[in-house]
Structure 1
Amino acid sequence: MSNNYYGLAWVASTALFMQTLDATILNTALPSIAADLQESPLEMQLAVISYALTVALLIPLSGWLADRFGTLVVFRAAIALFTLGSICCSFAGDLNSLVAFRVLQGAGGALMMPVARLSIIKSVPRHEVLSVWNMMVMAGLIGPIMGPVLGGWLVTYASWHWIFLMNIPIGIVGFWLCGRYMPNLTGKRFRLDWLGFLLFGGALASVTLGLDMIGSRTFSLWSAIVVLLLGMLLFVGYYHYARHVSQPLLGFSLFQYRTFNIGTQVNLVLRLCGSGAPFLLPLMLQVAYGYPADVAGWMLMPIALSSILCKPMIRSWLNRFGYKKALIAATILLCASLVCFGLMQPSWSLCWLLPPLVLYGCAMSLLFTATNTLTISEFSEENNSEGSTLLSVTQQVGLGLGIAFAAVVLNIYRTLLAPDAVAQAFSYTFFTVAAIGILQIIVLLKLQAHDGENMSRREG
């Protein structure tokens, strides 16, 4: 791998580091933030979902902006916006202001990773993409290692406000790195579909908000259902609209590629199945079992460590077993780890959580890398911008829906069970999200044995 690709991987990993550090710190700190803002820690999911929702909503702008102004210009603006949002979050005095500032953060985050990914797809030869991708993710996964521990330490011994201020020096480093290594690549300019943007954005906001309303005890069930149905109607409206315009915001032409079609489905289901765990685990340890934030932070470290340690072996696993077998096996291991989380009892030592935490980290690492590279495996050069945008939207929509789904399920069990059965509600929630893995295996069975082979085969 050439030095240019090496530097570009570092630029992308800086963006990933900022985002993963922010996400993992926030998950651990939610109970402390809730106490300071006088909110229930089990109803703080909107602070997390609002970021993912904003990212998914604004990601479709990333390809248009990058093609128009260049990848370097847009990436620098994204880092500046994300850092500004972080500073504002540190001054939030209530949940509403925190959510608003998280939206500002999300506006920057919506552009960072998609533009970095687009630069990699456009600049790096096809046979080198997996290596660059692995290096980017390995460096970026330092964030999940530091995040839970640092977040737990800060809220225990200092103040939760510092978890957002940590992004200032990182943003400065990222701003310098991208100027040194990232090319300012442009593409064919096109007119942005603003009507499609409003339809898609309204649909996404309504569905996510509806799920959050169901997961919260502040709103009535009927009002939540109305908002959810409105979102679904807007999605249907956007689908019919996009099929009858020449350049829709998010088109459906790429779904003619079988691996993209299957990979997109897997990405969505995977997020529903696995994305809720990093949100649920620190809450369970602190709220249900009474562990302090710093202990909860240390307990999440094995996830990131195992993810990094297995990264160098992913290419050989995929070459040996193929994408289909590797993805199905990883899904089974992921579900097994989630079931183990649900089996936890108050009398257990925390040491019993270490094996499923490692298993979860390895399974998610393989699933993310394999699914993302499989999704782009059949792309041609002209598909790069649209494909990168659609892949990023799918991931962020799935992340937001995965956390919202986990919060909804947890709230349902809290309503059905006795008020003091909080630990049992968490257990049933883990069992429920693990069952989603059955749907993922059904989707993976559509793959063929040779799918994804070109991602590890050298061209020429």
Structure 2
Amino acid sequence: MAISRVFLTPLIVACALFMENMDSTVIATSLPAMALELGESPIALKLAMTSYLVSLAVFIPISGWMADRFGARTVFRSAIAVFMLGSILCGVSHTLAELVAARFFQGIGGAMMVPVGRLVILRTTSKAELVLALSYLTIPALLGPVIGPPLGGFITTYFHWRWIFFINIPISILGIYLASRFIENLRSDDVVPLDLIGFVLSATGCSALMFGLASAGRHLVAGPISLICIVTGALALLAYVWHAYRCPQPLIDLRLLRIPTLRMNVFGGSLFRIGVGALPFLLPLLFQLGFGLTPFQSGLLTCASAAGAMFVKTITTVVLKRYGFRNVLVYNTMLGAMSIAAYGALNADTPHMLTLCLLLLGGCIRSMQFTSLNAIAYAEIDQQQMSQVTSLTSVAQQLSIGLGVTVGGLALQGSNLLQGHAAIVSTDFWPAFLLIGLIVLSSLPFALKLAPDAGAELAGRRG
């Protein structure tokens, strides 16, 4: 019996999405063990997380152009191969510099896999079957963060952290085989010219600025080099802003920020994500270095947030229809800030069940916020603007999460130095959680500026 393409194509793309989502969570659980073997401070390992996120932000905007120019199947298969090679290079890295470079290379593949895969689904599925196809795609996106932390913790505790990268090899080979056999090599006959100047400026700006911030504190490079990177990156991004408003078809169209609901997603959403982006970095360190838990125990605890996120996905539509986007974003922002700050009150004597409940509740709150933010971005967008809006929001999302890891690492390092501890201990964490909670709260004014009926049509609140 032939398998329906409505099921098969999303399943193939889901292999890539599952691999990418799981990879980002397994590494967070393994950071302390990786730092020990590489002879680095655990805080320095934030570079391994931010380099991957920066690579996503740099290359996602050109993924659609690449698919149109060279064919969706060609780019999708090549992206999986690059991701697999990057995973292998991560697994054989013996220094922090090698690991950071390998993670950046791996991110090039990640940046192309999922956007191109989604593009294939959108172009090969009828509107009547699109919701069903996308529902198949979202399952691995939800399962990856649930399975990732305990799997990474199990491998690190009972085997070796290097195997968390090698498990991508069989999944990648399966994905390449299925894509070769079942995915069409779709391409466009009318490919717009690539904004090469914009790409160079944005790539330089994002990479240099984020590397400079993440390496601050004399991680990997000397302080003056970090400062030079920060200045260079900031100037390149300013140059991109100047270029984008003068280019007829910019890589990322900043003129779209005039739309209020999109502006809320980019600015308010970025502040929220900066705070939340620090959690996958801080929580495993708190549980392992602060409380003395094994990576496996840490992974079992942190996956509670993802389980909460899965649950709330089932009720978000109902909540938005009942209360509207503005109310949900306003009150959920405050709840999100309080839940993150509350993590600072956890200690080694806190019952694990109470910790699990707090993480579960936090996951529910953050999932509701992310779903609302992602949807409100398209409230006032027409079909012709979809591609540009997706690029803009994707870049903002990856950069803000990467900045969250950096801010969380700097806050933890600063707290450790101020308290005069020779090593990281549990009392170093509460100032970091308080700071990122305040950053989340700073997104509140953007939510308050939304019109009461913002996104009413999306929420099903017509009339």
Q: Once the 2 structures are TM-superposed, how far is the Cα of residue 458 of structure 1 from its aligned partner?
A: 12
Q: Once the 2 structures are TM-superposed, how far is the Cα of residue 220 of structure 1 from its aligned partner?
A: 5.7
Name the TM-score, length of structure 1 as normaliser: 0.91
Unaligned runs of at least 5 residues, structure 2 = none
**Structure 2 residue aligned with 1:440, among 438, 443, 448?**
443
Partner of 1:341: helix, strand, or coil?
helix
In structure 2, relative to structure 1, the CA distance for the partners of 1:124 and 1:395 (3 Å cut) is farther
Deviation string, structure 1 residues 379-414 (Cα, Å, up to 9, x no partner): 222222222222211111111111111111112212
In structure 2, relative to structure 1, the CA distance for the partners of 1:327 and 1:71 (3 Å cut) is farther
For residue 169 of structure 1, what is the aligned residue in structure 2? Answer: 170
For residue 45 of structure 1, what is the aligned residue in structure 2? Answer: 46
5 Å-filtered alignment, 1:39-78, equals 39-78=40-79
Alpha carbons 2:325, 2:459 under 8 Å: kept: no
What is the CA–CA distance in structure 1 between the aligned matches of 2:341 and 2:363, rounded to whole Å?
14
For residue 428 of structure 2, what is the aligned residue in structure 1? Answer: 425
Q: Answer with 372-381 or 46-55: which moved more.
A: 372-381
What is the CA–CA distance in structure 2 between the aligned matches of 1:346 and 1:89, rounded to whole Å?
32
Give the counterpart letter for 1:96 in structure 2: A
Alpha carbons 1:127, 1:458 under 8 Å: kept: no
In structure 2, relative to structure 1, the CA distance for the partners of 1:323 and 1:125 (3 Å cut) is farther
Alpha carbons 1:114, 1:389 under 8 Å: kept: no
Give the counterpart letter for 1:165 in structure 2: F
Give the counterpart letter for 2:171 in structure 1: I
What is the CA–CA distance in structure 2 between the aligned matches of 1:55 and 1:223, rounded to whole Å?
23
**Structure 2 residue aligned with 1:355, among 330, 354, 357?**
357
5 Å-filtered alignment, 1:401-420, equals 401-419=403-421
Kindly indicate whether residue 456 of structure 2 is the aligned counterpart of residue 453 of structure 1.
yes
For residue 214 of structure 1, what is the aligned residue in structure 2? Answer: 216
Q: Once the 2 structures are TM-superposed, how far is the Cα of residue 345 of structure 1 from its aligned partner?
A: 2.3
Name the TM-score, length of structure 2 as normaliser: 0.91
Alpha carbons 2:13, 2:137 under 8 Å: kept: yes
How large is the Cα RMSD of the aligned pairs? 2.6
Kindly indicate whether residue 168 of structure 2 is the aligned counterpart of residue 205 of structure 1.
no
Unaligned runs of at least 5 residues, structure 1 = none
What is the CA–CA distance in structure 1 between the aligned matches of 2:136 and 2:253, rounded to whole Å?
31
Alpha carbons 1:127, 1:456 under 8 Å: kept: no
Give the counterpart letter for 1:452 in structure 2: G
Alpha carbons 2:216, 2:226 under 8 Å: kept: yes
Q: Once the 2 structures are TM-superposed, how far is the Cα of residue 24 of structure 1 from its aligned partner?
A: 0.9
Give the counterpart letter for 2:447 in structure 1: L
In structure 2, relative to structure 1, the CA distance for the partners of 1:281 and 1:209 (3 Å cut) is same
**Structure 2 residue aligned with 1:389, among 385, 388, 391?**
391
For residue 144 of structure 1, what is the aligned residue in structure 2? Answer: 145
**Structure 2 residue aligned with 1:303, among 302, 305, 328?**
305
For residue 26 of structure 1, what is the aligned residue in structure 2? Answer: 27
Alpha carbons 2:142, 2:306 under 8 Å: kept: yes
Q: Once the 2 structures are TM-superposed, how far is the Cα of residue 123 of structure 1 from its aligned partner?
A: 6.1
Deviation string, structure 1 residues 23-74 (Cα, Å, up to 9, x no partner): 1110011111111111122221111111111111111211211222333332
Give the counterpart letter for 1:288 in structure 2: G
Alpha carbons 1:264, 1:394 under 8 Å: kept: yes
What is the CA–CA distance in structure 1 between the aligned matches of 2:407 and 2:288, rounded to whole Å?
20
Q: Once the 2 structures are TM-superposed, how far is the Cα of residue 113 of structure 1 from its aligned partner?
A: 2.3
Give the counterpart letter for 1:367 in structure 2: Q
What is the CA–CA distance in structure 2 between the aligned matches of 1:298 and 1:286, rounded to whole Å?
12
Alpha carbons 1:314, 1:366 under 8 Å: kept: yes
What is the CA–CA distance in structure 2 between the aligned matches of 1:122 and 1:262, rounded to whole Å?
29
What is the CA–CA distance in structure 2 between the aligned matches of 1:143 and 1:165, rounded to whole Å?
16
Kindly indicate whether residue 202 of structure 2 is the aligned counterpart of residue 194 of structure 1.
no
Give the counterpart letter for 2:74 in structure 1: V
Alpha carbons 1:306, 1:358 under 8 Å: kept: yes
5 Å-filtered alignment, 1:51-450, equals 51-119=52-120, 136-178=137-179, 184-187=185-188, 188-216=190-218, 223-419=225-421, 422-450=425-453
Q: Once the 2 structures are TM-superposed, how far is the Cα of residue 347 of structure 1 from its aligned partner?
A: 2.6
Alpha carbons 2:324, 2:461 under 8 Å: kept: no
Alpha carbons 1:82, 1:104 under 8 Å: kept: yes
Q: Once the 2 structures are TM-superposed, how far is the Cα of residue 292 of structure 1 from its aligned partner?
A: 1.2
Alpha carbons 1:134, 1:312 under 8 Å: kept: no
Partner of 2:215: helix, strand, or coil?
helix
In structure 2, relative to structure 1, the CA distance for the partners of 1:254 and 1:15 (3 Å cut) is farther
In structure 2, relative to structure 1, the CA distance for the partners of 1:8 and 1:218 (3 Å cut) is closer
What is the CA–CA distance in structure 2 between the aligned matches of 1:127 and 1:336, rounded to whole Å?
41
Identity %: 33
Alpha carbons 1:207, 1:228 under 8 Å: kept: yes
Alpha carbons 1:130, 1:373 under 8 Å: kept: no
Equivalent pairs counted in the alignment come to: 458
Partner of 2:442: helix, strand, or coil?
helix
Q: Once the 2 structures are TM-superposed, how far is the Cα of residue 438 of structure 1 from its aligned partner?
A: 2.0
Q: Once the 2 structures are TM-superposed, how far is the Cα of residue 218 of structure 1 from its aligned partner?
A: 6.0
Q: Once the 2 structures are TM-superposed, how far is the Cα of residue 8 of structure 1 from its aligned partner?
A: 4.7
Give the counterpart letter for 1:358 in structure 2: L
Give the counterpart letter for 2:352 in structure 1: L
Q: Answer with 304-313 or 346-355: which moved more.
A: 346-355
